Amino acid sequence: MRNHDVPAPIRKAVFPVAGLGTRFLPATKAMPKEMLTVVDRPLIQYVVDEARDAGIEHFIMVTGRNKAVIEDHFDIAYELEATLKERNKTAALDGLRRDQVGGGEMTFTRQQEPLGLGHAVWCAREIVGNEPFAVILPDMIMRGETSCLDQMLKTYHETGGNLISVEECDPSETASYGIVGIGEAVGNAYRMTSMVEKPKPEDAPSNFYITGRYILQPEIFALLAEGRRGAGNEIQLTDAMLRLLETHPFYACPFRGRTYDCGSKLGFLAANVAFALERDELAADFAAEARALLEAAGR
């Protein structure tokens, strides 16, 4: 980006929610992974809130079979609302209304077959159009003073281009993650030089792993359209981003906060503990209960 250029605004966010969630079977046999709850809110609500708070105006859900409940979740539940009103459950009613998105702000499209994350993002191409956009993985939820997307957008306004959120992992654990190579610092971010899927510690270019938030230029769609298969015979977003990196600037944005990978059982359980401990009405009793359980289990 030349200094006098102002990067195009990020108005739309894509939420790929068409995966099978096999790591969470049988919970995900009939229910989408994205509706798993952390304390009392579905994962998908956390990420829609994050996007809305960061100023996103249009929410694009790429859904698959068995995902209709996500559409229902963001609809108005007239009977429920009438009953809550009748019973004077004002707080619950206000909560439901706060969680809703405005009319016409959410679009659903289908990925008929789960051919990979890259393919899911490509399925949103007509709705995104020719403008930069955000991708948010709903199974990664985050806790920080400000949200991850908000931090990324602040950087984007200075850098333009493509951005990927990253967090540092223990250098011995790089083989569990997608790892980025980094170059010079640019404000709070780094110029990104490479991306490697699950490298051994000795081959890893850094210990910054990809955490599930992206700002991408629309040129990614042409690369995804080629439908090249990668790891697991899936159309991988990482492969298309690697090719875009050859011609377009990419920046790695370290998130000032913590990411919980709720697609894994450990991350999901940790998120429940962390988010419960932040709820005023729950924290003290829950901490006492957790301590007693750990003590009883001799841990």
State the residues that interact with ligand UTP by CB under 6 A.
16-24, 33, 62, 111, 114-117, 119-120, 137-139, 263
- Phi, psi torsion values for 132, nearest 5 degrees: -65, 155
Complex with ligand UTP: residue 178 or 263, whichever CB lies closer: 263
Task: Give the bridge partners for 15, in sequence order.
Answer: 61
Complex with ligand UTP: residue 84 or 235, whichever CB lies closer: 235
Cα 220 to Cα 159: distance, rounded to the nearest angstrom: 18
Complex with ligand UTP: residue 16 or 42, whichever CB lies closer: 16
Query: In the complex, what is the shortest distance from the CB of residue 203 to ligand UTP, in angstroms, rounded to a whole number?
Result: 23
Query: In the complex, what is the shortest distance from the CB of residue 255 to ligand UTP, in angstroms, rounded to a whole number?
Result: 17
Query: In the complex, what is the shortest distance from the CB of residue 249 to ligand UTP, in angstroms, rounded to a whole number?
Result: 25
Complex with ligand UTP: residue 150 or 234, whichever CB lies closer: 234
- Phi, psi torsion values for 81, nearest 5 degrees: -65, -40
Complex with ligand UTP: residue 232 or 298, whichever CB lies closer: 232
C-alpha separations of 10 from 128, 266, 269 in Å: 10, 33, 32
Complex with ligand UTP: residue 63 or 174, whichever CB lies closer: 63
Cα 53 to Cα 47: distance, rounded to the nearest angstrom: 10
Q: Say if CB 81 and CB 34 are below 8 A apart.
A: no
Which three-class secondary structure state does DSSP give residue 87?
Answer: coil
The torsion of the CA quartet 166, 63, 224, 237, rounded to 10 degrees, works out to 20
| Number of residue whose CB is nearest ligand UTP | 19
List of residues 6+ apart from 269 with CB closer than 8 A? none
Query: In the complex, what is the shortest distance from the CB of residue 283 to ligand UTP, in angstroms, rounded to a whole number?
Result: 29
Query: In the complex, what is the shortest distance from the CB of residue 148 to ligand UTP, in angstroms, rounded to a whole number?
Result: 15
Complex with ligand UTP: residue 84 or 240, whichever CB lies closer: 240
Cα angle, residue 46 at apex, residues 31 and 147 outer, rounded to 5° = 150
Query: In the complex, what is the shortest distance from the CB of residue 247 to ligand UTP, in angstroms, rounded to a whole number?
Result: 25
Query: In the complex, what is the shortest distance from the CB of residue 62 to ligand UTP, in angstroms, rounded to a whole number?
Result: 5
Query: In the complex, what is the shortest distance from the CB of residue 3 to ligand UTP, in angstroms, rounded to a whole number?
Result: 36
Which letter does DSSP use for residue 35 in this model? Answer: G
Which three-class secondary structure state does DSSP give residue 177?
Answer: coil
Complex with ligand UTP: residue 45 or 155, whichever CB lies closer: 45
The torsion of the CA quartet 43, 48, 51, 52, rounded to 10 degrees, works out to -140
List of residues 6+ apart from 115 with CB closer than 8 A? 234, 235
The torsion of the CA quartet 129, 132, 138, 142, rounded to 10 degrees, works out to -160
